[in-house]
Amino acid sequence: MKRILKDKLYLAWLIALGGFLLSVYIGEIVQVEPCNLCWYQRMALFPLVFLLGMGIYRGDRRVAVYAMPLAWIGAFFALYQTLGIQIPSLGYGPFCSANLDCKEPVFTFFGFLTFPMLSAIGFISISALLFFSCRKESNQKS
C-alpha cells in the first residue's frame, strides 16, 4: 500500500514538474509574456514542484495535505480563465491587465486545447492524486 501511495505522489510531482518546465520554456525560451491569470497559476504551480519533491524525498506522507490547497487555487484560476475564453461574455474583472488579453489563446493544441485548459487538467489531476493519496493514508491508519 505504501508503494501505491508513493506512486500517486510521484505522478502528481511529475505533472507539476512538466507544467513547470513547459511554463518556463514558453516564458523564457519562446518569449511569450504570461497574462495575470497565468501568473496566478504559476504562483500555485511552482511551489508544488518543490513541495511535492521534498515530501517524496523525505518520506513525508502528509505532503499531500500541505500541497492540496495550492492545487485547488491553481485549478480555480485555470478553470476561471478557461471559462472566460469559452464564454467571452463572462469577462475577467480585475484579473487582466490592459496590455495583455487573457481571452486571447497564445497556442492551441489539436485545434481546441489551450494553455489554460491544459493547466486546468493538470491542476485537477494533481488535486485528484493528492486527494486519493490522503484518503488511502487515512484508510491505512484505521
Averaged pLDDT, 114-123 = 91
State the pTM of this model. 0.84
Residue 108 parent element (H or E): strand 108-109
Residue written as grid cell 518556463: 24
pLDDT at 1: 47
Query: Residue 51: is its pLDDT beyond 90?
Result: yes
Bridging pattern class, strands 108-109 and 113-114: antiparallel
| Domains of the chain by start residue, with CATH | 2-141 (1.20.1550)
Distance, in Å, from the CA atom of 140 to the CA atom of 79, rounded to the nearest integer, reads 33
Average pLDDT score over the chain: 83
Distance, in Å, from the CA atom of 133 to the CA atom of 7, rounded to the nearest integer, reads 9
Residue 113 parent element (H or E): strand 113-114
pLDDT at 61: 80
Read off the amino acid at residue 19. Answer: G
Percent pLDDT > 90 in the chain is 48
Distance of CA 134 to the CA centre of its chain: 18
The dihedral sign for the CA sequence 136, 20, 33, 115: negative
pLDDT at 17: 96
pLDDT at 89: 73
Percent pLDDT > 70 in the chain is 79
